[in-house]
Amino acid sequence: MNTDVENLFKDKVLSHPAGLFVLFFTEMWERFSFYGMRVLLVNFLTMAVIGYNPGWEWTAANAGALFGTYAGLLYLTPILGGLIADKFTGYRWAVVIGALIMTLGHASMAFETEASLYIGLALLVIGTGFFKPNITSIISEMYKKNPEKKDGAYTIFYMGVNAGAFFGMMLCGYIAERIGWSYGFGLAGIFMLLGTIQFWLSKPLFGKIGAKPSEIHEVELPQNINEESFVPNMDGSDEKPNPFTLRDKVLIAITAIIGLAFLINDPLSKIANINLFPFELFGLSGQVVTVLIGLALFLVLVIGRISRYSKVVRDRMIAFVIFAFFTVFFWLSFEQGATSLILFARDSVDRILVGNSAIAFNIVNALLTIVPLAFITWVLILLWKKTYNKIPGSNIVLAICFLFMWGLAGWMLNRDLNTTAYDVTYQAYEVPTMDSETGKQKVNESGDLVFDYPAITTSMDVSTPEYNIIDRKITIGEPFVDFKAGQEVQLINKDKDGTLFNFITTPEKLNELTQRGKDLNKDNGIVKATISSVKDNWVEITVSWFSILNSFFIIVFASFFSKWFESKYNPSAAAKYALGLIIMSMGFGLLAFGSYGVVDGVKVSMVWLILAYLFHTLGELSLSPVGLSYVSKLVPARMIALMFGMWYLAIAIGNKLAAIFGGQIENITEQYSLSTFFLIFTIVPAVAGLLVLALNPVLKKLMHGVR
């Protein structure tokens, strides 16, 4: 009688069991929702409270504090979620539970209230804890008898990860920025729910795989699982067991509590002014003192554990700890893509294209959208042919998902293709641009005084003589309208600094914006204007569009790096780390160079941001796959669970630090310059890369032959 695993391998798609592609699409929709929300959050929180698509106008520091805590917790809850699945729910139920909780989280965020936002983020953190570790565990169980195909299975699976991230950021970002934030958050939840339903309806295909908790907890790693129960000593004897002592367990509990308290206190103290550590010691804040104590205790825990092993094992684990340490520096720089680079793209990058440039972008964007969507649809058709008789409901839900995706993509492309550019004239008043340090009016390089020109709104009284009123001209695009030269229109700010505008095209929108100004007791931002002339094509690239470049470049270059690392030219682990850090720092170096000398109101060419994402991705491909592989290669089997957790702890710390530093973009730019901000992320990872390269001989010795 065939087992469930053997039955699963009967129906193959692209030489792999059809069940793999069910998991592929499940992960794809989860990543769609995760990255779709992720690309919106900081943008929404920091967007002007008065505008066409208003946000909450938080400071970048406050938005970074909240996002950093959310991102940090995402890498910690999966440790608990994996244990619960192993002992109680089983993998499949854990995936469903996690997906449903995340769906509720996205739905909660769509309400755009402060309470619903916090509840939504908490639900997403909890849901991810159930979902993230257990869907990969199902793959591991599927391929137990076919280990030679596991690497290929994970390659296909992670293509689903990048496809979901790509389309999630593209579509959720576009809808949120063009229509409204709640629509973007809601769209993420819709696909999360549909992905959950299609996975649940596919259970006949899997039989008992992933259904029952295993008796022994196994930590799932993407590759190279270390299945040895003992690590040999130098003399060939087995390594003696090294059980957790009471002191170890107490230290784990204390450091975990301190870490969690810090993650909660950081946004709580900044946003709500509630400090869990209201004291100072030696001039340091209570939060900093507590974190330093936690790090010291964690260091005692790790040193205590490692010191009880034999020399070879101890050396290898020391090498692993060094790699984990440098991982923090990589992620604190790389994850600027979720905070400071979002704000940079929105406020400082020239995203407007007119005429032939707009046509060229629309062609490129259409190819970027249609080609990968067509390929994934082809995979769906193959899956449908193989499994429709067994899981018709799951296939129908998948088909609905893809029809929805094609509809959204077609609407997006059609909207951009039918956007017309208009030259618009409006009135503004002249205001001296003051230097905050000297208190005097700024002077440009030519020695001329510098002025700002805020638009005159319908809420303002400019009849007094101190206003020097002038006419200003701006080019604005709008889809599916037919304005004529000389026609009077109304505009509204669409960005924080008031340099971009949207047309108000309906009475309902006008009433909504007018009422919002009254409710908040603020200037409503509505500007009367006149159409000067009609132009041809126009496109404003969304802020979120630049974030899809990471996924795109991964898909393009991943196979090259895979072949390189499998060849005779495969670099050492330290060299890969150094390459990853240094290549990524080059991306920030390009941003520092591109923004050098830029003054207020001047935009940076988008070319610099595109190149930065290219270098960041190449750095990620050099370093990111190395870490998990070396967990299994360097760590004894009984320590994998702790060290796997420690690895994700390093990533969590990196994410939190990334958000903290990224939140300082406004302060550093104001005090120094935008170029200085990016220079920090050029120097820090570059120095870290050079250090790890210098440690290469030491690391080779500590690794005792492991490559």
d(CA 705, CA 707): 6
d(CA 443, CA 450): 5
Q: Per-residue pLDDT averaged across 302-329, rounded?
A: 88
> For the segment 466-515, what is each residue's pLDDT rounded down to a tens digit?
668 899 999 999 999 999 999 999 999 877 666 778 999 999 999 999 99
What is the per-residue pLDDT for 218?
45
The total number of residues written for the chain in this structure: 707
Between these two residues, 8 and 577, which has the higher pLDDT value?
577
DSSP state of 635: S
pLDDT band per the 50, 70, 90 thresholds, residue 427: very high
> For the segment 255-266, what is each residue's pLDDT rounded down to a tens digit?
989 999 999 999
Note the CATH number of domain 1-220. Answer: 1.20.1250.20
Q: Judge whether residue 438 has pLDDT over 90.
A: no
Tokens of 511: 């009433």
Among 328, 269, 267, 317, which Cα is nearest to 65's?
267
d(CA 491, CA 657): 39
Q: Per-residue pLDDT averaged across 625-644, rounded?
A: 70
Residue type, 524: N
Note the CATH number of domain 309-350+545-707. Answer: 1.20.1250.20
Distances (CA, A) of 564 to 495, 570, 703: 44, 6, 22
Backbone angles phi, psi at 610, to 5 degrees: -60, -45
Q: Judge whether residue 313 has pLDDT over 80.
A: yes
Give CA torsion, residues 643, 649, 654, 656, to 10 deg.
180
Could you tell me the pTM of the whole model? Answer: 0.90
CB 664 within 8 A of CB 677: yes
Among 298, 274, 296, 277, which Cα is nearest to 288's?
277
CB 664 within 8 A of CB 60: yes
pLDDT band per the 50, 70, 90 thresholds, residue 676: very high
Q: Which of 292-306, 432-446, 553-567 has the lowest mean pLDDT?
A: 432-446
> For the segment 95-124, what is each residue's pLDDT rounded down to a tens digit?
899 999 999 999 999 999 999 999 999 999
Q: Per-residue pLDDT averaged across 246-271, rounded?
A: 92
Q: Judge whether residue 222 has pLDDT over 50.
A: no
What is the per-residue pLDDT for 634?
79
- For the chain, residues classed under CATH 1.20.1250.20 are 1-220, 309-350+545-707
Q: Which of 130-134, 174-178, 423-427, 537-541 has the lowest mean pLDDT?
A: 130-134
Is residue 129 classed as helix, strand or coil in its secondary structure? helix
Cα atoms found within 13 Å of the Cα of residue 343, Cβ hemisphere only: 28
pLDDT band per the 50, 70, 90 thresholds, residue 233: very low
> For the segment 394-417, what is each residue's pLDDT rounded down to a tens digit?
999 999 999 999 999 999 999 999
